[in-house]
Structure 1
Amino acid sequence: MPNTTDRPDPPARTAAEPSPPTGLETTERYETDDGVVFYDAANPLAWLEAGDALRLADQV
């Protein structure tokens, strides 16, 4: 599975577009047997919490 750093850069945003939430640029992920773990590469001890889990395949 490619790391987020293997992805091409996103297209440049225009001034009219809202900026992404703080920390989004440093969010990375890895797979486990139970699912995917997202973490902040700039602060790997930080936690991300979700109230519900959604299957990515169901969202696209």
Structure 2
Amino acid sequence: MNIMAACIAEADAPSIMVDDQMRWRDHLLKAARLDPKTVRDVYIAPSAQQSAGARAKAG
């Protein structure tokens, strides 16, 4: 989550919107020139798991 937070200037998981996630994904694909599978498996999947964990703790 820290990598995404640095890119989109949001440190609080609930404040990250879908548009922020899409912009971050596009940054990884275009500016960082990463393979789509790498972005999905290394960056997006762990972030989704952390967000789900944060929601579970809050609820």
Length-normalised TM-score, structure 2? 0.25
Task: Using CA pairs under 8 Å that are at least 6 residues apart, name the structure with larger relative contact order, 1 or 2.
Answer: 2
Q: Greater strand share, 1 or 2? A: 1
Give the structure-1-normalised TM-score.
Answer: 0.25
| Higher helix proportion | 2
Which of the pair has more CA radius of gyration? 1
